Amino acid sequence: MWPTVDCKCLRTCCGAKEAVNHSYFLQQRRTSRLIKAMFGQKKLTPKEQLRETKKEIRHNERDMDRELQNLAREEAKLIHDIKKMAANNQHGPLKVMAKNLVQLRAQKDKLITMKATMTGVGYKASLMHSQAAVGQAMSRMTGVMGDMNEMMDATKTSKVMTEFARQNEYMNVKEDLLDDALMDASRV
């Protein structure tokens, strides 16, 4: 039988006294997606992979936030108990609880570091997706440029440009002659 918890989510079992623990089913769903991906169910596109990665990272960050909140509550409780025992002069358990407090704070620091690393992984995944998109765009552009270069014959283009320059110069000379003729006609 599955463990029972009070459900605080907006799923179909909300309000049920014996709600099934959703984290178990979510974990099963993630595991089945991983198994499908490993054994060739359907190859995900890079965009879908990025979406899945971000979803997993967000989920893991939320889990870490919950764990950090739990550790903060435990730390506050432990500090309260330490103060209470110090007031009652119970030094034996006090040393053990002080060691627990140090371990708890170290665990909290490690969890914060792991969360920062997880966030960095998410940023790196986004960056890699962007770089892949730029690479694909450059690949397509290279193909287009290659096609354009094949269509353009360099010697033929050079001849056309030379002819264009010659005709342009010829037209400029005619225009100058026409301008001179019009100036001479306007003086008379």
Higher pLDDT, 69 or 28: 69
Q: What share of the chain is helix, strand, coil (3-state, %, to 5)?
A: 80, 0, 15
Q: Is the CB of residue 88 less than 8 Å from the CB of residue 45?
A: no
Q: How many domains, the chain?
A: 3
User: Within this chain, do residues 58 and 135 fall inside the same structural domain, yes or no?
Assistant: yes
Average pLDDT score over residue span 125-138: 90
Which of the 8 DSSP states describes residue 88?
T
User: Within this chain, do residues 35 and 89 fall inside the same structural domain, yes or no?
Assistant: no
User: Within this chain, do residues 75 and 131 fall inside the same structural domain, yes or no?
Assistant: yes
Nearest 10 degrees: CA dihedral of 75, 79, 80, 85? 140
User: Within this chain, do residues 10 and 89 fall inside the same structural domain, yes or no?
Assistant: no
pLDDT for 28 equals: 59
Q: Token pair for residue 91?
A: 């030094």
Q: Assess whether pLDDT exceeds 50 at residue 107.
A: yes
pLDDT for 165 equals: 94
pLDDT for 149 equals: 81
pLDDT for 151 equals: 83
Alpha carbon 2 to its chain centroid, in Å, reads: 35
Q: Assess whether pLDDT exceeds 80 at residue 20.
A: no
pLDDT confidence of 19, banded at 50, 70, 90? very low
Residue 19: strand pairing partners: 5
Which residue in 128, 115, 131, 125 sits closest to 52, CA to CA? 125
Q: Containing H/E element for 20?
A: strand 19-20
pTM strictly above 0.75:
no
CB-based contacts of 97: which residues, under 8 Å, 6+ apart? 78, 81, 82, 85
CB-based contacts of 162: which residues, under 8 Å, 6+ apart? none
Tell me which residue range forms the domain holding 58. Answer: 45-152
Q: Where are the alpha helices (DSSP H) in 4-90?
A: 22-38, 46-87
Average pLDDT score over residue span 6-13: 48
pLDDT tens profile 136-169: 899 899 988 888 888 888 888 889 899 999 999 9
User: Within this chain, do residues 87 and 174 fall inside the same structural domain, yes or no?
Assistant: no
User: Within this chain, do residues 68 and 130 fall inside the same structural domain, yes or no?
Assistant: yes
Which residue in 45, 44, 43, 37 sits closest to 133, CA to CA? 45
Q: Token pair for residue 85?
A: 């025992």
pLDDT for 16 equals: 45
pLDDT for 4 equals: 47
Q: Assess whether pLDDT exceeds 70 at residue 6.
A: no
User: Within this chain, do residues 32 and 82 fall inside the same structural domain, yes or no?
Assistant: no
Higher pLDDT, 9 or 103: 103
Percent of the chain exceeding pLDDT 70 equals 78
Number of helices (H), then strands (E), belonging to the chain: the values are: 4, 2
pLDDT tens profile 22-38: 555 555 556 666 566 66
